[in-house]
């Protein structure tokens, strides 16, 4: 067993989880990154480890609109979708603490970035192009990739969005690794971040 496996199989994770919850108060852990970065997969595991509810912003948008994300894009366009996304994320942050996975374009909205900075700890799952493409190419629910050259689209999105994603509080390297490992790395980074801020349960509320 390596050191990571030792941690996952020990009492350290519950202890870290309790410490994170105390310091978060009503703040949430918000995962950002491009489609295919693993926000939902890692987010669910992270939420389980930290013992907080998990929500996916796209799923919540589909609930309130009774339409799928591709249907919303087609019917109303990206601008209208982004406005709905902004409002849904703002509402969810008010219900924290939670672990929230956001859509790839959500963090590009300045109001959403401000809301996340106020009510959350942002974690960028930074993945390389080949990793992203390997994960998304088989899925049909990616409106922005409905193109003859999805790889070129993804490269363009990386160029546009990665400098903005870099404003996140924390960056975790998303790669072909077990979700438990990535989630643990995110958990450790969040705890270190909260400790560095000097947050305790009283400060965070």
Token reading at 102:
């956001």
Question: Which region holds residue 23: left if phi is over 0, alpha if psi is between -120 and 50, else beta?
Answer: alpha
Token reading at 13:
């994770």
CA distance 185 to 180: 9
Q: Residue 31 forms beta bridges with which residues? A: 101, 123
From the list 34, 31, 78, the residue with the least C-alpha distance to 56 is 31
Q: What is the pTM of this model?
A: 0.89
CA distance 110 to 69: 21
Contacts of 68 (CB under 8 A, 6+ apart): 62, 141
Structural domains in the chain, CATH included, are: 11-204 (3.40.50.300)
| Per-position pLDDT tens, the chain of length 205 | 456 766 776 789 999 999 999 999 999 999 999 999 999 999 999 999 999 999 999 999 999 999 998 899 889 998 899 999 999 999 999 988 999 999 999 999 999 999 999 999 999 999 999 999 988 876 655 666 677 788 898 999 999 999 999 999 999 999 999 999 999 999 999 999 999 988 554 444 4
């Amino acid at each position: 067993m390596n050191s990571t496996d030792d941690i996952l199989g020990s009492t350290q994770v519950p202890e870290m989880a309790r410490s994170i919850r105390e310091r978060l108060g009503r703040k949430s852990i918000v995962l950002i990154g491009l489609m295919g970065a693993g926000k939902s997969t890692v987010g669910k595991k992270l939420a389980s480890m930290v013992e907080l509810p998990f929500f996916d912003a796209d799923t919540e948008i589909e609930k309130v609109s009774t339409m799928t994300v591709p249907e919303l894009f087609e019917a109303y366009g990206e601008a209208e979708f982004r406005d709905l996304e902004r409002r849904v994320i703002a509402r969810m942050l008010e219900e924290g603490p939670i672990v929230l996975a956001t859509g790839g374009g959500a963090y590009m909205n300045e109001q959403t970035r401000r809301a996340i900075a106020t009510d959350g700890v942002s974690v960028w799952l930074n993945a390389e192009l080949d990793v992203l493409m390997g994960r998304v190419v088989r899925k049909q629910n990616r409106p922005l990739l409905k193109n003859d050259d999805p790889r070129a689209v993804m490269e363009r999105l990386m160029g546009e969005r990665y400098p903005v994603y870099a404003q996140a509080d924390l960056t975790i390297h998303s790669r072909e690794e077990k979700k438990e490992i990535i989630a643990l790395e995110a958990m450790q980074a969040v705890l270190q971040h909260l400790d560095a801020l000097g947050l305790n349960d009283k400060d965070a509320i």
